[in-house]
Amino acid sequence: MSCCAPGAELDFQEAGPSAEEIGLASRPAGDGLRRTDLSVPDMHCGACLQKVEAALGRLEGVAEARANLSTRRVSILWRGDAPPPMLPALNTIGYSAHLYDTSGNHEDLALSKLLRALAVAGFAASNIMLLSVSVWSGAEAATRDLFHWISAAIALPALAYSGQVFFRSAWRALRHGQTNMDVPISIGVLLAFGMSLYETIGHGPHAYFDAAVSLLFFLLIGRTLDHFMRERARQAVSGLARLSARGAMAIRPDGAQIYLPVDEIEPGMTILLATGERAPVDGHVIKGRSELDRSLVSGESAPQQAAEGTELQAGILNLTGPLTMVATAAAKNSFLAEMIGMMEAAEAGRARYRRVADRASRLYAPVVHATAFLTFVGWMIASGDAHRAITIAIAVLIVTCPCALGLAVPMVHVVAVRRLFELGIMARDGGALERLANIDTVIFDKTGTLTAGNPRLSTGGGASSEALALASAIARHSRHPYSLALAALGDGRPPMALDEVSEHPGAGLEARKGSAIYRLGRPDWAATGGGAPPDAAVVLSKDRQCIAAFHLADRLRSGAREAITELRASRLRLEILSGDNRTRGGDVASELGLPFSAGARPSDKVTHIKALQQAGHRVLMVGDGLNDAPALGAADVSMAPGSAADIGRNAADLVFLRDSLLAVPQAAAIAREAASLVRQNFGLAIVYNLVAIAVAVFGLVTPLVAAAAMSLSSIIVVANALRLGSRGPAGAPEPFPAGFIHPSPAGAAE
């Protein structure tokens, strides 16, 4: 199922979106032009960029093609009645491309907002720091007051602009009766500014404008980096090909064909489903014979026959022949919508996870604020000087300001998300990493997750090499997935001459060689003379007598074995939860030595996960199909391969784009390392704060001390975060006894 793996499905899907679909996805760009965005994942270098732009620019009707190398996308402006043949043009120069959905690009705005806030804070911090250094180095009286006033004039607009990021979030939390890290940050910054302004008015010697603004600057750096890394991961995921249909070719009662978007398809409409297309809504077949790939919908890996009357669920892929279907449900009532509904229900039911930083701030804020208050009371009793007591109390707040705490978590997550990105694993947010570090159970879907999407035929060792060569020669004449798999068997052998080959749709291939009639296909059609084993998927027969039988075998995804071994080594409970039938699920399970449950419906998967969670387990769900989406939503944390169904990909916390299943243990290892670094960072921040509070409580803090202490603590925390991944490659296989990986008896789940 992966777009990188060579396989049967790739050939079928290469037909790509129709002109109507491209038209539907395009947007007007003014001046009679329309704009289409394509994702071109293979565009790697400047030469690629030039080739892509040139190839598209040559097409008639294209006004401009502009490629973006960072996001691997091309924007094409075109005019005319029909979209230019953009995808074929790219395919001929060797680039695969697909439509990019531009609907979800509000995030770019958030990033540029953060960058603007960062720039303002940086400007203000550097200028105020220049003035403050002059004050620290001995500016007196009128000069000092002037510098303080100028600092205040710079700090006020900077806080009003850049501080909004924190103030808004703090206010949102407070309004809901909660607290987060932004609450103490906002209080600290505002108090520091207020007190400094008061000092400035009263010609006081100490103003903390620099502390207030540089705190914002440091925290904004962390925030922006965090956002940038997540945005990059999100874009990489949204650049993947969409697997659900955008629309379908409907036949009107008068016989005219029109292309309708999915939302406008109503029950009762007749729809043409070409080979390589996915059913847009639920329905049933009224004409045509074909085979269906249900792997994304139900987890069944073997293609299934379709004829008149076969029920189709939205998302099923039509493999071999054109079908005419009648819609029985609108898109909002179809299988896909049902899955989305179940997924949302499952997500709502999952206990809201409190992020580590928020939990820390719940402890931090009361402690620091109580300390500041006690300091004030203490100095009031000791000296009776209200001004002095307030000044020292606020100094306590400023010096303990959660700079280190505010950076402790995001910096680790930025580094971890970046490491994951390099491994082809896209993490949606830092919270997912924290949850991933805590898991004790991993549940795998089978089809498309543990196994590569396309099934493989195996002979079971019973066929002669002559028969294999013959089967492969016959199979070359068909595009059926089984045929493609069989044809690959004969690679490297001399081709065998056949006299005549004909294809019987839904049954198989018939070939004549001399006087012998060979048939390759379904057992009940090819081997009517008997001799076919009962569980064979395809047989080769000579004059109706079976001479070779082929079984369907799932092929394990690359790295599956190693991944399972590594996950076991880190003492995680593993199991398989598959929608496929018992035999094939059992084969894979015994091969990997995992317990499994077969025939699980989407709701069964959710129930199973809920039961595990009630028993106190924290579950990672790895799955790819539509039928896994509710389970992905229900699990504590979820991963999906890049080849997963759209909603699965969007529901998953992490998406791995490379083929290998090793991504799962790698992600888990990085998450665990990140969690331990976060704990260390908190430890460092606490030690720093203890020292700082002690100094501040005794009234020894000056703005210079505050600035130095704050910078030092931030640098230590950031440097510690950068250690992530420096202890060698994460998730490298560790040696352990071979006996450990021997399969245990399978089929004992539930």
Partner 1 sequence: MIDFFFLIPIAIGLGLVGLASFMWTLKNGQYDDLQGAAERILFEGEAGPLPEKRYPGSARPPNDTPWTRTGQPEGRSNTLN
User: Which of residues 140 and 491 has its CB atom nearest to partner 1 in the complex?
Assistant: 140
Query: Smallest distance, Å, CB 704 to partner 1?
Result: 21
User: Which of residues 145 and 587 has its CB atom nearest to partner 1 in the complex?
Assistant: 145
User: Which of residues 157 and 366 has its CB atom nearest to partner 1 in the complex?
Assistant: 157
User: Which of residues 134 and 676 has its CB atom nearest to partner 1 in the complex?
Assistant: 134
Nearest Cα to Cα of residue 420 among 236, 182, 258: 236
**Chain Cα centroid distance, residue 370:** 42
Q: Report in angstroms the alpha-carbon separations of 530 from 504, 515, 547.
A: 20, 20, 10
664 touches 558 (CB < 8 A):
no
Query: Smallest distance, Å, CB 546 to partner 1?
Result: 50
Burial class (CB in 10 A: 0-12, 13-18, 19+), 748: exposed
Query: Smallest distance, Å, CB 121 to partner 1?
Result: 10
Tokens of 468: 């294999």
445 is catalytic: yes
Percent of the chain as helix, strand, coil, to the nearest 5: 50, 15, 35
State residue 130 phi and psi, 5-degree precision. Answer: -60, -45
Q: Which of 445, 554, 636, 659 is catalytic?
A: 445
Q: Report in angstroms the alpha-carbon separations of 538 from 10, 95, 397, 517.
A: 21, 35, 76, 16
Query: Smallest distance, Å, CB 611 to partner 1?
Result: 46
User: Which of residues 67 and 319 has its CB atom nearest to partner 1 in the complex?
Assistant: 67
Amino acid in position 280: P
Query: Smallest distance, Å, CB 166 to partner 1?
Result: 20
**How far apart, in whole angstroms, are the C-alpha atoms of residue 233 and residue 628?**
22
**How far apart, in whole angstroms, are the C-alpha atoms of residue 47 and residue 242?**
27
Query: Smallest distance, Å, CB 70 to partner 1?
Result: 4
User: Which of residues 112 and 583 has its CB atom nearest to partner 1 in the complex?
Assistant: 112
What is the DSSP pairing of strand 637-641 with strand 619-622? Answer: parallel
**Chain Cα centroid distance, residue 31:** 37
User: Where do contacts with partner 1 occur on this chain (CB under 8 A)?
Assistant: 19-20, 23-32, 34-35, 45-46, 49-50, 64, 66-71, 75, 77, 79-82, 105, 108, 112, 115-116, 119-120, 123, 126-127, 130, 142-143, 146, 150, 154, 258-261, 264
DSSP symbol at 263? G
Query: Smallest distance, Å, CB 21 to partner 1?
Result: 9
Q: Any idea what the Cα angle at residue 623 is, between residues 457 and 423, rounded to 5°? A: 95
User: Which of residues 95 and 518 has its CB atom nearest to partner 1 in the complex?
Assistant: 95
Q: Report in angstroms the alpha-carbon separations of 468 from 104, 547, 556.
A: 50, 10, 23
46 touches 79 (CB < 8 A):
no
Query: In which element (H, E) is residue 197 found?
Result: helix 182-201
Query: Smallest distance, Å, CB 550 to partner 1?
Result: 44
673 touches 725 (CB < 8 A):
yes
User: Which of residues 23 and 599 has its CB atom nearest to partner 1 in the complex?
Assistant: 23
User: Which of residues 143 and 583 has its CB atom nearest to partner 1 in the complex?
Assistant: 143
Query: Smallest distance, Å, CB 27 to partner 1?
Result: 6
Q: Report in angstroms the alpha-carbon separations of 76 from 28, 99, 102.
A: 11, 11, 13
94 touches 43 (CB < 8 A):
no
User: Which of residues 126 and 328 has its CB atom nearest to partner 1 in the complex?
Assistant: 126
Instruction: Quickly tell me which residue has 């089967």 as its tokens.
Output: 471
Helix axes 703-721, 386-399, angle to 10 degrees: 20
Query: Smallest distance, Å, CB 67 to partner 1?
Result: 7
Burial string for 581-607 (b: 16+ CB within 10 Å, else e) reads eeebbbbbbebbbbbbbbebebebbbe
Active site residues: 445
